[in-house]
Structure 1
Amino acid sequence: MAGKVVLQYFNGRGKMESIRWLLAVAEVDYDEVYLTTREQYEKLLSDGDLMFQQVPLVEMDGMKLIQTKAILNYIAEKYNLHGKDIKDRVMINMYSEGVMDLMEMIMMLPFSADANAQLETIQTKAKGRYLPVFEKALSGPMYLVGGKLSCADVQLLECTLMLEEKFVGILAEFPNVKSFQGRMTRIPAISKFLEPGSKRKPQPDETYVKTIMEVFKIKLPLK
């Protein structure tokens, strides 16, 4: 019998946060092992746990899973959050990857050489490239694809909350997205995940950035 799901990553959002969100929606309990030292990372490498020398690492169903998209797809498939057929799935994946492109820009802010310029770029792209797509997709349906909750919906909610942390009122021009956000936050599992004391991580702080620098032996800001 497979044991409890275990996540190995830093004590912060990063690429693991979307995985935490999806597990929360699927109501899957999990433990976390936080990377805090270079030695922990090197042990994962020497044990052969990191296929491409990268985290996140998720231990689940007797497997050691890496690569964020692959992990998200596995969870989505297992817990019926990936559409009813192959056509639904490809649409879900397109929306999901678009959201991830935008979220990754936000994730990189603490490591940016010019955070103010990067913020301006994120806001411009969010309002001009990404949010209009979701505003149109949500002009009638409750969810993005197939009339049912999917991993793309969960990631879009996560993304809208991240955007509002940086740009208060950014959804004012996108009422369908804002209404969608409100509906999503009323889903019991999501409402619970948004409560204080949940496993949702706060915005990155100096400790999070410093730990990543030390574990991966990188120098900031990144160029």
Structure 2
Amino acid sequence: MGFESYRQGAFTRRLANLPDQPNMQAAELKTYFDSSPEELRQALNRLCDALGEFSAAAKLGYTASAGVPAQTVQDAIENVQKQVRDASVGKLPSGCVDGDKLAQDVRNRLTAIEHAAESETNARTAADTDLQSDMNTVKTTLTVKTACHFGTYTGDGTEKRTISLGYHPKAVLVFREGCYTGYSSAIYGGLASEDVPLMYGDSVGLGVTADGFQLLNSRNCALNLSGYKYSFAVFA
């Protein structure tokens, strides 16, 4: 990084450049032979001096890691120092403490908590599945066994009248306008099932038929009074 200028290049005087029979004095030849080692010595000394400077660490490269994301030795040292300071006050970097660094009793507790959480999750999942199954069963049961339809009719005053629905109901509930079924001894509505009709003396006041329900309109059984509006709920 910062030491490229101290790299030793080709020597100034190379033995290979000399002729096979050099025409040189002995002292000159010795100086020639010593020149390359001297260049190397001087380059090495300059490098040692540079490495001894206070800023040398900032010039030395460093391969960054997950724990120490730095590009120079100086930055790496400062990063590690900061991590040590943070650790001394409880600010540990994320991921520096794994299970192997924990005491055995702490690991045992964490394992127990993990197993308890897993068991609770499994129990909740099973309970949710059972609840959903029960709800589906209830929904199916209600759909199959109970179908409720609502409607109205206006009395026409006839003594006996049949309201056709197009299907056989299991029960029918009738209310006269004002939402009541009787007053004193008079009947203005009521509940009848396919096996238990609403009787008025010996007559059927309200009863289930094969495709709807029948009504009686007499003195005190007024389920079809002319001009009055009646509401009904049919259970099929």
For normalisation by structure 2, the TM-score amounts to: 0.17
Higher strand share: 2
Which structure has more relative contact order (CA 8 Å, sep 6+)? It is 1
More helix by share: 1
Q: Greater Rg, structure 1 or structure 2?
A: 2
